[in-house]
Amino acid sequence: MKKSEIINLLNKDLTGEIEAILIYMRDSFVTPQCDPSRTMEEIAKDEMRHAETLSELIVDLGGIPSMLHKELDFGKGGTKGYLRKLISLEEGAIAMYREHIAAIPDEQIKKKLTHILHEEEEHLEEFKEKLRDLK
């Protein structure tokens, strides 16, 4: 796999992290329940660290981190709707990281992506727990 192909995959991951940061922070501001709101904010901070790691990997490979993102979908329907959206985003991120880990041959990059993947799996469980607590 060429460096440019790895950079493209990492930039896709970075785009997902940027979108998650923006959506999680916005949803944390408009969520009236305190506990889910704090969880959204804390996980957004984790996503910021992921974005930093991915940006560093991209630069180390000679690329430029992409700060682009698609139109954002914040979810709807109040706290439960926001949490359902965040669960969906985490599931998508987990699937993408697994795919990219399998495709990228560099062991150091795989190790960092695997670390991010494990945190995304934890985020998924946290959001699911918050949703269960609301029912």
Contacts of 42 (CB under 8 A, 6+ apart): none
Higher-confidence residue: 121 or 31?
Answer: 121
Question: Is the model's pLDDT at 33 over the cut of 80?
Answer: no
Which residue intervals of 3-106 are DSSP H helices? 3-30, 34-60, 78-103
Question: Is the model's pLDDT at 32 over the cut of 80?
Answer: no
Question: Is the model's pLDDT at 10 over the cut of 90?
Answer: yes
Angle between the 34-60 and 3-30 helix axes, to the nearest 10 degrees?
Answer: 160
Higher-confidence residue: 60 or 75?
Answer: 60
How far apart (Å, rounded) are the C-alpha atoms in residues 11 and 13? 5
Provide the residue ranges of all domains of the chain, joining segments of one domain with +. Answer: 3-134
Mean pLDDT of 124-128: 96
**What does the pLDDT read at residue 77?**
84
Q: What proportion of the chain, given as a percentage, has pLDDT over 90?
A: 80
Pick the CATH number of 3-134 from 3.90.1150.10, 3.40.50.1380, 1.20.1260.10, 3.20.20.70: 1.20.1260.10
Q: What proportion of the chain, given as a percentage, has pLDDT over 70?
A: 99
pLDDT tens-digit readout, 66-122: 988 888 888 888 899 999 999 999 999 999 999 999 999 999 999 999 999 999 999
| Cβ–Cβ under 8 Å, residues 112 and 86 | no
**What does the pLDDT read at residue 69?**
85
